[in-house]
Amino acid sequence: MCMPRFNLMFDIGRGSPRLVEIPKILLTHGHLDHSSGVAYHVSQRSLRHLSGPEIYCPPELAGPLTEIMELWSRIEDFRTEYTVIGLEYEKLYPVHGNFFFQPVRTVHRIPSNGYIIIEKTVKLKPEFLHLSGMEIAERKKNENLFYESFLPHVAFSGDTQIEFVLDNEVVRKSKILFLECTYIDNERPVERARKWGHTHLYEIADNAEAFRETQKLVLIHFSPRYRPEQIRAAMKARLPDWLYAKTTAFFTGG
């Protein structure tokens, strides 16, 4: 999922020449439907004389990913530039200006995390809101009148059980939430989704209250067994009207 505004992408899938300009890859985990385009991306940027990309990933993936990149260097007999960064959780990483990203651990079959894009702003403490500009200018010389506020704009789940939403307030408070929804019907029931570390549409419906503060819910990562019209019909049938109204199905084409 490409975020041109932030000059980064969440996962890379199989890669695409259209993504070559984007210098930051925020990998959620190493499954190939999310990560197999990394080597191609690095190679294409090198051919175009662009900077080596930054590849962020769960810390457990950093070693194996570096090894596989070294192997590709041997296969191609060419040394490319790239940086693999094993993530530290709870840390804020700079994006640009006041925007940062924070990795948040998810529940999947292998080490994985989602990401939150957060805007940091400095605000006047409520007890000083009545002050005039002149008074603020004067008093701030000796007093701390301000506090830092963190506003989550976008959350991206990667692959996860629904606990990513239920256990993390920062996810529930994000304005836009990209959430995986691999299964949508009884043929692949909730237990199966959970066994494979995924989220089922029925769980989203059953936990609808968790999405009250979400302004836009974008469901992704549907099993390729479903057709788009089937997915939209299941969403309409299952989700409460208020939640359905702010929910979109996004198809990445596998």
Residue 159 or 203 with smaller CB distance to Zn ion: 159
Number of residues that bind Zn ion (CB under 5 A): 3
Q: How far is the CB of 168 from Zn ion (least distance, A)?
A: 18
Torsions phi, psi of 34, nearest 5? -110, -25
For residues 109 and 58, give the distance between their C-alpha atoms in angstroms, rounded to a whole number.
Answer: 13
Query: How many degrees, rounded to 5, is the angle at CA 253 between CA 241 and CA 170?
Result: 50
Q: How far is the CB of 137 from Zn ion (least distance, A)?
A: 53
Torsions phi, psi of 112, nearest 5? -160, 155
Coil/strand/helix, residue 102: strand
Residue 45 or 222 with smaller CB distance to Zn ion: 222
Q: Which amino acid is at 166?
A: L
Residue 9 or 118 with smaller CB distance to Zn ion: 9
List the one residue from 13, 20, 31, 124 that touches Zn ion (CB under 5 A): 31
Q: How far is the CB of 160 from Zn ion (least distance, A)?
A: 9
The 115-154 contact track toward Zn ion, x by CB under 5 A, reads ----------------------------------------
Q: How far is the CB of 34 from Zn ion (least distance, A)?
A: 6
For residues 6 and 93, give the distance between their C-alpha atoms in angstroms, rounded to a whole number.
Answer: 12
For the segment 33-52, give every residue that binds Zn ion (CB under 5 A): 33
Residue 226, CA distances (Å) to 100, 108, 252 in order: 35, 22, 13
**Bridge partner residues of 178 (DSSP):** 156, 218
Torsions phi, psi of 68, nearest 5? -70, -35
Q: How far is the CB of 158 from Zn ion (least distance, A)?
A: 7
Residue 15 or 152 with smaller CB distance to Zn ion: 15
Residue 96 or 109 with smaller CB distance to Zn ion: 109
Q: How far is the CB of 10 from Zn ion (least distance, A)?
A: 12
For residues 98 and 100, give the distance between their C-alpha atoms in angstroms, rounded to a whole number.
Answer: 7
Q: Widest CA span of the chain, in angstroms?
A: 67
Write out the two tokens for 76. 């191609």
Q: How far is the CB of 29 from Zn ion (least distance, A)?
A: 6
Coil/strand/helix, residue 162: coil
Residue 80 or 115 with smaller CB distance to Zn ion: 115
Stretch that binds Zn ion, among 28-36, 58-66, 116-124, 224-232 (CB under 5 A): 28-36
Instruction: Give, as one character, the DSSP assignment of residue 32.
Output: H
Q: Is there binding between residue 60 and Zn ion (CB under 5 A)?
A: no
The 190-209 contact track toward Zn ion, x by CB under 5 A, reads --------------------
Instruction: Give, as one character, the DSSP assignment of residue 50.
Output: P
Residue 118 or 179 with smaller CB distance to Zn ion: 179
Write out the two tokens for 97. 């200006």
For the segment 153-172, give every residue that binds Zn ion (CB under 5 A): 159
The site for Zn ion (CB under 5 A) is made up of 31, 33, 159
